[in-house]
Structure formats: C-alpha cells, structure tokens
Structure 1
Amino acid sequence: MGVGAEVVGLTKSFNGNKPVWSDVSLTVPSGDITVLLGPSGTGKSVFLKTLIGLLRPDRGKVFIDGQELTAMSDRELYAIRQRCGVLFQDGALFGSMNIYDNIAFPLREHTRKTEREIRRIVMQRLDVVGMVGDEDKLPSEISGGMRKRAGLARALVMDPELILCDEPDSGLDPVRTALLSKTIAELNAETGATFLIVTHDINTARTLPHHIGMLYLGQLVAFERREQMLASDKPVVRQFLNASIEGPIGMTEEKDANGQNGQTAQQPFGVAQ
C-alpha cells in the first residue's frame, strides 16, 4: 500500500538567490496518483528532489508516512528512500551496465535475493515497460524514450510505496505516452502505491491523476482534485491546461513576472475579472 507525503511551508533557493519556490504546502494523498504541472523552469524537479531529501529546503518541513525528513540524519533518510522509487528525467542509468544489470542493481545492492529471484523480478518489470528483448543492450544503444522506460522499470523493482516520476513521458511518442499512462494507472490499482508525477503532457494531466498541482512564479497556485482543476477559472491554470497563448504565461519567466499577455504581475494567477 502506498504512503502519503506532506510538505509544510517549504522554501528552496540556491546560493542565497531568489527562491525557486516559497512557502509551498500540500499533501500527496496515499494510494493516489498526483500530477505536478507548471511552465519550464518553475522548479518541479527541485521539488521532487527536496521531497525525498536529496536536497534540503531553506525552510519548512517534509513528511513521508508521518515521519519528518527534514529532521533526519543521512542514515535515517537512507532507510526512508528504500520505500521510494524515483525516475529521474534522463533515466539516470549507469552507462557501463546493460539494461538488465541497471534494473537489477537496487536488488543486488539492498536485498539478499538470489540471482534467480532477481531475474524473475527484473524480467517482470521489463515486461511491464515493454522492453523484454532489450535487456542485453547498453543505455547508449537505445533511444532516450527507451532509457526512460528502463529507468521506470528500475524504479519499480523494490516494490516502492511512493514513486516519484520526473517527466516519464518526455521522449515518448503520443501512443507510447498513452500506454505509459495506462501502465501507471494499472500499477496504482494493482499495488496501491502512491505516484507523484511531473509532466508537461496535457493529455496525461487530463486523464491520469486523481489530483493535480501547479507551480508558477515560485508559488503553488493550485492543488485540487482533477475534476476541479479541469474546471478551474484561474487564468494561469486554464491557459496551461488548454495550451493557449492567451494568458499570464509568457515565453520566459521574465515576461511572466512583467505581466505580459494582458495580466499584471500583482495578479498573475487570480480569477479573471
């Protein structure tokens, strides 16, 4: 069964610069699929890394299954991370290992399973992501989309209770993106694991999650059930989910902040008048 995650008043910056985002509070419900949206450069990947303690926040608290990560030692964090699976943007595969050994790595490193047991698990996960037959290839010998799918298989081998996916659909064509969403929905239904997914794919956001959050201009501007988000009258949410050029989001964050596209910086995500 999945575990929930909660952040309270979270703020993160680098080298004392302007915060990537500030005072973010939300709860990722256990056993559900949550999608995190936002324009490029809004710190969604930073948020995922902060959530599992790979980055420390400037302020605020992070809880997983009721345990406060921000107060933990590195050893305690290590134990919590064993309950999490992470798919990074680039798949984060070891270039010197073939796909099979990449996926087997967490099992060999953190369990005492026999090679026979490991092979059964690895081949099952390869089947889930449609990569049976590719296990002997090196990461350099497969496409970026396939590396992402291999990364997802590796994130699943430890039967995690919380799975974080950073743009799992990037590099995939629309059909495979839809199939990946179907796979995630089936895994969620079968295992009850909690999923938090960063994506830019609007169809994924409209069809897959139970909940949707959105980061914009350093703030969490919305976090609601999918049905409520899709019906939102907030201009920034409506613009993003409709992939419209009309609204507060500009080509760059500087244009957003300067109030381009007919929206003032002081009122970037409020209800349209």
Structure 2
Amino acid sequence: MGVAVEIDGLTKSFGAQTVWSDVSFTLPAGEISVLLGPSGTGKSVFLKTLVGLFRPDRGTIHIDGEEITSLHERELYRVRRRLGVLFQDGALFGSMNLYDNIAFPLREHTRKTEAEIRAIVNDRLDLVGMSGDGEKFPGEISGGMRKRAGLARALVLDPELILCDEPDSGLDPVRTAFLGELIAELNRTTGATFLIVTHDINTAKTLPDHIGMLYLRRLVAFAPREEILASDDPVLRQFLAADMDGPIGMAEEKDAVGNGKGETLPEEQYRGEHREDA
C-alpha cells in the first residue's frame, strides 16, 4: 500500500537563486497527485529533493512518518528502497536489454535468485504491456516503450511511493492518454502513492486525485482535482486553459499576477496577499 508524504516549509536555493520556498502540503497515501507549473519552476528539483538527491535549505519531509531530510546516506538508501522513480527519458542503460535494465535494481539491492528475478521482471513487463520485449534494447524501441520500460523498472521493488518526472514528455496525445490509463491501473492494482510532474493539461484534468502547482518560487495551491479545476485563481485558470492572456508570460522574470481590475501586481505583493492560501 502507499504511504503519505508530509512536506512542511520546504525551501531550496542554488547559491543566491531561490528555486521555491515555504512549500507545504501532504500527498495522501495511495492516491495519485499531479504537480504542475510553467517550465523552470523547479518541479524536477522538487522530485529530486523528495528522493534525497538534493538537500533542502529549510523544511521537513516525512515519508510514512519518518523525517528524511536529516538522514545520513545509508539511512536514505533504506528509504529509497521504498520509492520508485521514473525519469523523463526512462533513464535506461543503452548497453543493456530491457530485461537486464528492469532486473538491475533487484540484482543491486536484493539477494533474490535469478529465477525469482525472472518471475518479477516478466510480471512487471506484463503489467506495462511489454511481454516478450525483454530482449530488445532501448535504442530499438519507441519513446513510449522506453517510458513503459522505465515504469516497469520503477515497480520491481514494490515501491510504496512512485515519482514520475514528466512521463508524457515527447509522447503524442494518444500515447499520453494510454500512459495515463496505465498509471491509473497501476495505482488501483498496487495501491502505491503516485506523484507525477507533467505539463499535459488533459492528464491533469483527468488522472489525479489531487493537483498542486508551483509558480514564482511558491506553491500556488494543492487541493483535490475538482477544487483546483473550479478555482478562480488567475494562475491556475490561465495554466489549465493554456491561455496566453494572464499572469504567466513567456519568461518568468516578466510574470505578474492580475488583480482582477486590469492591472498587475508584482511578485512580492502577490506572495504576501496569498501566503495563507498556499
């Protein structure tokens, strides 16, 4: 079954550049959540912070009640075994066939026999609709198949939390829809908690139980999908409508937030007025 993830006051900077600050929300156990945001808002950095690849400047992350930001590497290794991660490109080893790619975490992190590994790998290949494809190499298959193979590898250790970094990147709308349905089915069958970073609006409108959004170095909102889709927040409305008219511009440094009177507010004032809602 999935685990709850409690994020409180999380802040991350690189040098003088703040990526996001004071981010707080809870991923409900066993549900699918989506994290949205314009390009460059630090969504991938956020996922890597949850995995422990980056240390936050401030704030805490509790996974199933255990605070992980202060753990040493050996302790983090134990926590990471409870996680599955699907990176944007699948992160498959080009020199290995798909079978060996998917078997890799089992060989590295468990003492299972090759017979046990074979049974698990074949089961995960079947789960993602790739039975019989184990002998193929990453360079021989489509981008969509690489995503599914990466998802199969993320599942081999029976994770309780699965993080997906733009799984639909580079896919056409039809294959994006199929991938979304696959994730929904995996959530139903495994009970794992999913957090998905995506730019795909249709995925955000149909797949998750909860939606969050990062913008201008802060969390705009995190709430049930129906509440987000009905929100009158100008950033959420513009992004979900893929509308050019609104506070989000081509470049983040030029972004401003409308105040409903045909005017705009600077970032600092927007953040101050909305802090209690974030």
Q: Deviations over 1:198-218 (max 9, x none)?
A: 011111111111100000000
Does structure 1 retain, via aligned residues, the 8 Å contact 2:84–2:159?
A: yes
The whole-number CA distance in structure 2 between the counterparts of 1:252 and 1:227 is 29
Measured after TM superposition, the shift of residue 9 of structure 1 is: 0.8
Q: Deviations over 1:216-256 (max 9, x none)?
A: 00000111100000000000000111111111000111221
**What is the correspondence of 1:183-262 to structure 2 with a 5 Å cutoff?**
183-257=182-256
Q: Which range is displaced more, 172-181 or 262-271?
A: 262-271
Does structure 2 retain, via aligned residues, the 8 Å contact 1:217–1:257?
A: no
The whole-number CA distance in structure 1 between the counterparts of 2:257 and 2:187 is 41
Alpha-carbon spacing, 1:8–1:258, altered in 2? closer, same or farther (3 Å): closer
**Aligned-partner SS, 1:188:** helix
Share of identical aligned residues, percent?
A: 74
Measured after TM superposition, the shift of residue 265 of structure 1 is: 2.2
In the alignment of these two chains, the number of paired residues is 269
Match of 2:176 in 1: 177
Does structure 2 retain, via aligned residues, the 8 Å contact 1:94–1:102?
A: yes
Measured after TM superposition, the shift of residue 268 of structure 1 is: 5.1
Compute the RMSD of aligned alpha carbons. Answer: 1.8
Residue identity matched to 2:199: H
Q: Which runs of 4+ in 1 moved over 3 A?
A: 266-271
Match of 1:265 in 2: 266
Alpha-carbon spacing, 1:132–1:262, altered in 2? closer, same or farther (3 Å): farther
Residue identity matched to 2:6: E
Match of 1:48 in 2: 47
**Aligned-partner SS, 2:94:** coil
Does structure 1 retain, via aligned residues, the 8 Å contact 2:3–2:64?
A: yes
Structure 2 unaligned runs (5+)?
none
**TM-score, normalization by structure 1:** 0.93
Does structure 1 retain, via aligned residues, the 8 Å contact 2:247–2:257?
A: no
Aligned: 1:116 with 2:115: yes
Does structure 2 retain, via aligned residues, the 8 Å contact 1:247–1:263?
A: no
Does structure 2 retain, via aligned residues, the 8 Å contact 1:6–1:28?
A: yes
Structure 1 unaligned runs (5+)?
none
**TM-score, normalization by structure 2:** 0.92
